[in-house]
Amino acid sequence: MSISSEIQRLKQDLPKGTDLVAVSKFHPAEAIQEAYTSGQRIFGESRVQELCEKVKVCPADIEWHFIGHLQTNKIKQIVPFVSLIHGVDSLSLLQEINKEAAKNERIIPCLLQVFVAQEETKFGLSPKECRDLVASGILKELHFVRVHGLMGMASLTENQEQIRTEFHTLKVLFDELNFTFFQNDPSFCELSMGMSDDYMIAISEGSTLVRIGSKIFGHRVY
Ligand SMILES: *Cc1c(COP(=O)(O)O)cnc(C)c1O
């Protein structure tokens, strides 16, 4: 299957209100261009240097999403152009993004990453840490970041029911926070969950952003 036919097929799977983030990490700019030509505009990258190199050579109207673990000292490189940062997992990171965003006079949309998997290696806030952070009210003081929702990853397992349970946990937390703290903030509307192997489950559990790489671009060579 070609990149463009995979994208067309995926788009047919996505309900209205769910967007596709084409995860192009480790794939060359030519692959991005092919996806772009078939109409794709949102791309996800997980390494700052790779992202910055691609931005220079790819079409200017691409929306770049940062989906990796962001190191504090690299924030300033992506803040001038990034359109969504998916993996914010601490208040200090959010504060640093806010600081750089202020210098750029931009408001950066961010998602709080919540840990719902059973593995120990995944990054993210626990549901309680996430709830406490939002409840603290401190987000309102960070004028140059806006939390648009939550992001999470399910366990790497064949067990479909476990994956469903983990996505469901994230959706329940999203709905709770939305109801309790964001009633007057329509920009709290994104739930980023689902990858190549589990996006159909994520969609059925309420995902609004699926992050799909290998299904579109093939296997990555690290
Ligand atoms: C690499 C990556 C993806 C895409 O994974 P695929 O299995 O190739 O679809 C999605 N989300 C995050 C956070 C990633 O790092």
What are the tens digits of pLDDT across the range 17-51? 999 999 999 999 999 999 999 999 999 999 999 99
pLDDT at 121: 65
What gap in Å lies between CA 211 and CA 222, rounded to an integer?
19
Residue 114 DSSP label: B
Angle at 109 (CA atoms; ends 103, 113), nearest 5 degrees: 120
Which residues of the chain fall below pLDDT 70?
A: 121-122
pLDDT at 123: 83
pLDDT at 66: 98
The candidate with the shortest Cα–Cα distance to 116, out of 148, 93, 150, 139, is 150
Contacts of residue 150, Cβ cutoff 8 Å, sequence gap at least 6: 111, 112, 113, 114, 130, 170, 173, 174, 177, 190, 191, 192
**E strand intervals along the chain:** 19-23, 42-45, 63-66, 84-88, 108-113, 145-151, 190-192, 209-212
- pTM of the entire predicted model: 0.96
Both tokens assigned to 67? 């989906």
The pocket around ligand 1, CB under 6 angstroms, is made up of 23, 25, 46, 67-68, 195-197, 211-215
The candidate with the shortest Cα–Cα distance to 131, out of 172, 87, 94, is 172
For ligand 1, atom 15, the nearest C-alpha belongs to 68
Rounded percentage of the chain residues whose pLDDT exceeds 70: 99
Q: 51, 67, 84, 197: which to mutate for ligand 1, most atoms within 8 A of CB? A: 67
